Amino acid sequence: MMIHTLAEYQKQLLAKKISSLELTQFFLDKMAQHNALNSFITVCAETAKAQAIHADELRAQGKAGPLTGLPFAHKDIFCTRGIKTTCGSKMLDNFIAPYSATVTEKLDDAGMVLLGKTNMDEFAMGSSNENSFYGVVHNPWDTRCVPGGSSGGSAAAVASRIVPAASGTDTGGSIRQPAAFCGITGLKPTYGRISRYGMIAFASSLDQAGPMTQTAEDAALLLNAMAGFDVRDSTSLNVPVPDYTATLNDSLQGLRIGIVPSFFGDGLNSEIGAAIDNAKSVLEKLGAQCVEIELPHHELAIPTYYVVASAECSSNLARYDGVRYGYRAAQPVDLMDLYKRSRSEAFGQEVKRRIMMGTYVLSSGYYDAYYLKAQKARRLISEDFKAAFKNVDVILSPTTPDVAFKIAEKTHDPVKMYLSDIYTIAVNLAGLPAINIPCGFSGQLPIGMQLIGNHLTEARLLNIAHQFQQHSDHHQKVPMMESSS
Ligand code: GLN
């Protein structure tokens, strides 16, 4: 099966077998051809071609860096100067970002070509991409299914190979869960590893950007350019960025992998359990050993997250008032009417639900009972991981309890939808890095597994994922719709 990774296109550019302009046109054509997936909100055809021409000039002058001329897509949550940035919301449908996010600038400075902005759940709230103002995205493996969310457009676009790589953001699982549903690699780095400046805020203590790619090697290439300290983000970590590609081939001899037996109970699709068992033996053959561990407070993760994330979103989304920028209701009678109607006309149902929950848990009288209690539970969840990492190097778990579900299957039951993130959410509460890697199929739908590491162990996670991918081929499978190209 053909696989066209960033690393391979990088070699072709280097050998001058292809130009960035040719590559860019190739992907723009594919994006048009597979428009029906609805993975893009904005296609940047003209600016992309201009960037590609510039990249080719730099290469001709001997000034190309490792990523120069490689095309990719941004989740539409990253501000891109002069380009519409919607965050999947009617509220920002008319918003042309006046500045770029740090991540946008960094990839731009690295010479990458921005093909377009991908579809997503409104303000990154969701697990199925069904909350987008721009409509649902289809899973390329079965178009009746969701691609996962909130980075569903990025996941579907990478899986169908209509872009070689994309960015995503992960507040409770939004990189890893869609990566699992679409059969790609998705890394959520340590909180603070990548700047949040210019990345539209959902829940600021949890949000983190990361790469969504076909392989761990590509994720390493992108992370090299995305990571780093930023004075404009007060939670950004001021620690050096290693070359994440340098350790991809390190040995796994002696690696201690933690397994949480309760993760593999009744709530898990048994085919996912079996695929992870197979993956475990692959890793054991490479020198790893598995150790049983416990995370006693893990069951608190979902309720804790929905208190903390909703509280933070209710505060972050207060800025959309119909006055400063974004949607404004027509002919308001007074200021209160302007606020009320702008917000009620432009926010979708899920966003409103979160704002209401968040306002409630922060209100005086309920603050101690909910918000404060959730902060305490958050601490316990972090302490569990801290204790576990005394005995193991990484934790191997499912990414999702089931494979991609049907469109509209869970839209009427928010709690059922929230449970999609049962294996990913605790990681954000603890600020840890974690990666999804494809590890099998259930029928035609991909299965993902998750490796969770201690703070700032992205290099090790990428190393393990890369070694696994050197000894498996799940990540090379391409959905039928693309197999003829
Ligand atoms: N599905 C979770 C939510 O709806 C996580 C979303 C995310 O990571 N952005 O909040």
Per-residue pLDDT of the chain (485 residues; tens, 9 = 90+): 456 899 999 999 999 999 999 999 999 999 999 999 999 999 999 999 999 999 999 999 999 999 999 999 999 999 999 999 999 999 999 999 999 999 999 999 999 999 999 999 999 999 999 999 999 999 999 999 999 999 999 999 999 999 999 999 999 999 999 999 999 999 999 999 999 999 999 999 999 999 999 999 999 999 999 999 999 999 999 999 999 999 999 999 999 999 999 999 989 999 999 999 999 999 999 999 999 999 999 999 999 999 999 999 999 999 999 999 999 999 999 999 999 999 999 999 999 999 999 999 999 999 999 999 999 999 999 999 999 999 999 999 999 999 999 999 999 999 889 999 999 999 999 999 999 999 999 999 999 999 999 999 999 999 999 999 999 999 999 998 743 33
Q: Are strands 185-188 and 434-442 parallel, antiparallel or unpaired?
A: antiparallel
Q: How far apart are CA 142 and CA 115, in angstroms?
A: 24
251 part of the active site: no
Report the distance separating Cα 219 and Cα 194, nearest Å: 13
Cα 82 to averaged position of ligand 1 atoms, centre (Å)? 27
**Distance from the alpha carbon of residue 334 to the mean position of ligand 1, in angstroms:** 35
| pLDDT at position 485 | 38
Q: Quote the pLDDT of residue 2.
A: 59
Amino acid 3: pLDDT: 63
Asked whether the beta carbons of 409 and 247 are under 8 A apart, the reply is: no
Domains and CATH numbers, the chain: 6-257+390-484 (3.90.1300.10)
The active-site residue out of 20, 39, 128, 174 is 174
The burial class, CB within 10 Å (0-12 / 13-18 / 19+), for 325 is: middle
User: Quick check: is 11 catalytic?
Assistant: no
pLDDT at 484: 35
Q: What pLDDT sits at residue 480?
A: 85
Taking the CA of residue 467 as centre, how many other CA atoms within 13 Å lie in the half-sphere pointing to its CB?
Answer: 24
Q: From the CA of 124, how far away is ligand 1's center (Å)?
A: 6
Centroid of ligand 1 to alpha carbon of 2 (angstroms): 32
How many CB atoms lie under 10 A from the CB of residue 156? 34
Best residue among 75, 119, 125 to mutate for probing ligand 1's pocket (most ligand atoms within 8 Å of CB) is 125
- Residue 246's CB is within 10 A of a number of other CB atoms, namely 12
Q: Which letter does DSSP use for residue 84 in this model? A: B
* Atom number of ligand 1 nearest to Cα 309: 10
Q: Which of 150, 151, 314, 397 is catalytic?
A: 150
150 among known catalytic residues: yes
Binding-site residues, ligand 1, Cβ < 6 A:
124-127, 150, 170-174, 202, 309, 421
Omega prior to 89 cis, within 30 of 0: no
With the most atoms of ligand 1 within 8 angstroms of its CB, the residue from 122, 174, 177, 308 to mutate is: 174
Among 358, 359, 323, CA closest to 339:
323
User: Considering only CA atoms, which of 108, 107, 133 is closest in space to residue 119?
Assistant: 133
Structure letter (DSSP) for residue 167: E
Atom of ligand 1 nearest to the CA of 151: 9
